[in-house]
A and B are shown apart, each in its own frame.
Chain A
Amino acid sequence: MKLKGTQILLKALEEENVDVIFGYPGGAVLDIYDELYKSTMKHILVRHEQGAVHAADGYARATGKVGVCLVTSGPGATNTVTGIATANMDSIPLVVFTGQVPTGLIGNDAFQECDITGITRPCTKHNFLVRSIEDLAPTIKEAFNIARSGRPGPVLVDLPKNVMAAETDYDPANIKIRNYEVTHKPAPKKMANVFEMLTSAKRPLIMTGGGVILGKASAQLTGLARKYQIPVTGTLMGLGSFPGTDPLWLGMLGMHGTYYANMAISHCDLLLAVGVRFDDRVTGTIKTFAANAKIVQIDIDPSSINKNVVVDLPIIGDTKATLTDMINFLAKHNYTYSPADRQEWLGQVAEWKGKVPLTYCQNGKEIKPQYVIETLHKLTKGNAIITTEVGQNQMWTAQFFHFDHPNTFISSGGLGTMGFGLPAAIGVKYAFPDKQVVDIAGDGSIQMNIQELATAAQYKINVKIVLLNNGYLGMVRQWQELFYEKRYSHTDMTYAPDFVKLAEAYGIIGLRATKPEEVESILKLGLSLDKPVLMDFRISREECVYPMVHPGESISNMSLGSREMIN
């Protein structure tokens, strides 16, 4: 049976089990939207194309499925670029469909034409311009396969208007594409090496990253750490891959990592790094990073190996399959650790934890952002999916909300995209309507995609926004305070809308707390309401994120802020 391109697109999406598209219509995709009008496919109309990509991204991070967007050509397409680059840096599977002018006009500077495959080439895993109707169905199938296989990532598919209007036969059972799956090759020799390294190590440490969450390897990693009593630290992207309330958990490492995680990295003699890429925010100066340790690195992507940190034993493979092999090998060969050595190491770690715990000064007069997050954790019992914006709000969340489960901390790690949290929360909440989904935001970031409040209101997607409002671009201000002698160049954002009134204008609920004693009751109320709620917490204006490793410094050399921080 002959079908039109627009019909094939929707059928192909059904084949891929797509249950929602985040999108925004326009000239080049009118035919597709006309088909959507007749279809049962769910579509969430965002208010800006960047919001569509972040929403699909949040959906993908929380569900582990491929997120899907649909936008028009030209500006619609270019508006997706920040979202695509965000997903690319964090290896999130997306398929972004962009409209394109008819093939005959490509290259002629037609109205709303842009070379979006050229623009997104460096920030997608792959992209396609569909040149003929016969290529459409195979391309869509390839796009989804590429997005979710191996190290996942965003794929863009550019759809010229005339191709979508053309007709061809559609037979999904007979579409042949290349195999993009990475086959797992067991490496017994490497497992023997790991065995030896673990046996001779006195101070082993596990460092878990986003690859453990993407690879669905949290259970294996947790099992390994608990069985052999190995303490665990994590990167920002790894939060939730090991239970944040487990005594073996040391919290995040790196620039705003905990004192004890950074000390453990600097003193361990064996570092088992799983699904990490040793970002500069994690390592501090490379020279002293884990300087006393032999490093084992497990990653699915060979290009992540020896990129920043030269490792002693690279193992290229899927994190889940490789950790499973490792657990089996260690058990089969009766790996045991010296209880005395381990007790000493865990004792040392506990001593560091006791010396400089993660804390802040609660003066009773001002709302401290850390207190808001701690209270949110208490009230939700940690049973919530949290998205963040970028900056101080993100770092405080990473420090003070103890994530016990994978796929529950949704944040732009690599690119650090302000404006991510609200649309991402909408995508998450769409996927998990019964879960408490909270965007922990800053007043700077939230304004970058504030228009998505309308999306939440329209579809009754009841996200909760915890706005840590200090009237500053807080993280930039913090750097200006510490490194630019308090010259607060263009970081004062006191001129801002009244967020409560703004929320009300969008048809959602706005609440405000200005005193510490109001925090808990406002949070309780906001979380209990069956509507989108924006809670405006007027926090201590010049609170800084500590610990902080100064740029270019060794991560064991941390600034701890004011003295009262250290109990």
Chain B
Amino acid sequence: MPTPQTPAAGRPDGPAAGGLVLLILRRLRDGIITLALVVAVIFVLTNLVGDPALVYAPVDATDEEVERLARAFGLDDPFLQRFAEYFVDVFTGDFGDSHWQKRPALNAVFDALPNTIMLTLAGIAGAAVFGIIGGIMAGARPGSVFDRVNNLTSVAALSVPNFWLGLLLIVVFSLRLGLFPTSGKLGWSSIVLPAATVAIVHGGRIFQLVRSATVEEMSKPYVLVARSKGFPRRTVLWRHVLRNTGLTTATIAGWEYVRLWGGAVFAIEWVFAWPGIGTLMINAAHRQDFFVLQAAVIIAGAFVVTSNLLVDLMYRAIDNRVKAS
């Protein structure tokens, strides 16, 4: 596969010097640095801001007991040594034991992980379908009734708290109409409402961005040329415009997915008691189970960093192929 040396003009990130391989390596390095930063921040938060021994000790523990706990955790060691040990622990998968679930924290997180992946994928698929098709149709005819109605709806969807929207869906579709279960994970129908919540909120944002991209593309001269040559509007839109906005669109959807892992999906999980990372994390927070909480934040952070990396690379890879042809 040839790696074109075209300078990436007009990209916000500056020119990509080498080929694709170099780019991947550089992005990979950035990703690892970011992940290391996440771990460092969490270590500093847990060790400097609070006293871990005091947090883990029972409420009625005496001073000696707290001190014994501190020694057991190795809290007497120098700060930097503990920092290094923490890093080694995290990257070898040792996140400590959950005192709530009586098992390694990482196992609790891995049990919840597939559920969150399932929900985010189902949600983003719905969001992409509605957002992209709606956005293109609205952007093709700005100012039309379809455009205005959808524009207002999507702004409204972006203006309400996502967890509240979930509660509203529960009231309407579970309590009033009795179509879907209110919460938990019992069979396929349980995923409908949480995924719909994700799809509405994030579909709204995808709609907005795809719409602007389409409006902008439609105002370019080549559209006028094609139209004046007699191509029907529909042909110009789906053959010509779509080909040019496709890359932006794919990237927009990708970044919405990243945003889900950055925290947007977790409150929705909590509303529907969906047994994913978010629900696990809030339960852990309420039980002061910081090992599980740390593990969950770091694993979610790894997902954010990885999906960021993938979206970015996808964007550049497609872009380069377009330039090469």
Do A and B bind? no
